[in-house]
Chain A
Amino acid sequence: MVQALNYLKESASQTAGPYVHIGLAPGAAGFNIYRQELGHDITGPNAKGDRITVTGTVTDGTGAPVKDVLIEVWQANADGVYPGKGQVEDGFRGWGRVIPDFETGTFSFETVKPGTVMGRNNRPMAPHLNLWLVARGINVGLNTRMYFKDEEKANAVDPVLNLIEQAHRRETLIARADGNTYHFDICLQGDGETVFLDV
């Protein structure tokens, strides 16, 4: 026998199911209940930096769009500061919820482009959005990141992108730039499967 460590175990994840919108975005489920739904506005009105639009589709292993996915975004402001970690603009939450069009599966959201964030060992991380995906059929929420194609120099030395052994798979985390719009498709499975992170 040894002494018991007596740690608790993290509650096991369960799928968010097809009706996740009721809880996290009731307007999308078809009814209004709260004075204010959370997650509609990532930046608030005072955010500095480049206003951008991000669009894309999440597809499953058969290539079909995952229309019932819910994506959460977490990001730093244009100075590379996360709320809670330093001073950010008044009203900048850095967090939002994204729901695709139920008919097409295409999502679109607006935010500001984040700045470079200091990573471990004082190695800068290229600008990126942190994404978390939940849906029916996803047993544990999936973490990934979205980087920006027009940040090639920063991406080339990004410590996370460089951890991806198969260099061609780094591209799955880099959004295509088209002016102020970035296209970012997420593939859950198969050829072109997005790199997901165990954080």
Chain B
Amino acid sequence: MTTQELFQRDREWHPPAYSKDYKTSVARSPRKALLSLQNSDSELTGPTFGHNDFDPLDNDLISNYAKNGDPIGERIIVHGRVLDELGRPVPNTLVEIWQANAGGRYRHKKDSYLAPIDPNFGGCGRTLTDNAGRYVFRTVKPGAYPWRNWVNNWRPAHIHVSVFGTAFAQRLITQMYFEGDPLIAKCPIVKTIPDQRAIDQLVAALDLNATMPLDSIAYKFNIVLRGHRSTFFENRPEGN
């Protein structure tokens, strides 16, 4: 038995390309059918990264851009595991995050929201998962912010998450939300996801067991990448 191809991506679980209430998707969504491919090496291989690529503080957003003090905001730990659909850990894979500061402002030359830039907060971090697929970041909780979609849309507090896996076809970008946020149910970007269970899976749970008492509160967020199929029998040449 060898592991090889990936489980088909469940397109009824992911958001469709065209979501009328997320207006930017209207002109940026392909309208022709995607061409379905069985996997070859082009999809089943992918880049790898090593500890030489990073600095030890890259996963600590409280200190990795600090100039003359800590960033403003609620100190949080975000931790979890990267797993595949079989529940197996994905070790040594790159996890990158980015977020707004506690006031809901991004450090980006294209963000002009009136909330101030925090001089001590960059808003990005990266790390490799360990042998058990675990990762951890320390940061401040991002603020909600308004955005132009309808006149009065507000993004729930969220952290953007990018993950690689071992195959280029596992590549995934998603967003992590926070338990208890009433804006989640109102957000047109969240609601591009058609299945409530898939939305719930993107909401990090408050994890009091992982807090640092009198220092930082914690949220747990597991990330699931596509699983690999097993080939049980190899007695039939593939027709094509």
User: Which residues does A use to contact B, with CB under 8 Å?
Assistant: 6-24, 26, 29-31, 33-36, 38, 60-62, 64, 66, 68, 72, 74, 76, 82-85, 93-95, 102, 117-121, 123, 125, 128, 130, 132, 134-143, 145, 159-160, 163-164, 188-190, 193-199
Instruction: Output the nearest chain A residue to B52 by Cβ-Cβ distance.
Output: A36
Main secondary structure of the interface of A (DSSP, over half): loop
CA gap between A138 and B13 in the complex, in Å: 16
Number of interface residues of B (CB under 8 A): 87
CA gap between A38 and B55 in the complex, in Å: 12
CA gap between A174 and B171 in the complex, in Å: 23
CA gap between A47 and B181 in the complex, in Å: 50
CB distance from A106 to the nearest CB of B (A): 17
A9's partner among B42, B45, B64, B197 (CB-CB below 8 A) is B197
Q: Are A12 and B35 CB-contacts (below 8 A) given A72-B171, A139-B22, A198-B9?
A: no
- B130 within 8 A of partner (CB): no
CA gap between A83 and B45 in the complex, in Å: 8
User: Are A16 and B173 within 8 A (Cβ)?
Assistant: yes
User: Are A26 and B122 within 8 A (Cβ)?
Assistant: yes
Chain B residues lying within 8 Å of A136, measured Cβ to Cβ, are 24, 28
Q: Are A117 and B41 CB-contacts (below 8 A) given A23-B124, A34-B55?
A: yes
User: Are A29 and B29 within 8 A (Cβ)?
Assistant: no
Chain B residues lying within 8 Å of A198, measured Cβ to Cβ, are 9, 11, 34-37
- B210 within 8 A of partner (CB): no
Q: Give a binary string over B163-197; 1 marks a CB under 8 Å from any A CB, 0 the rest.
A: 00000110111110000000000000110110101
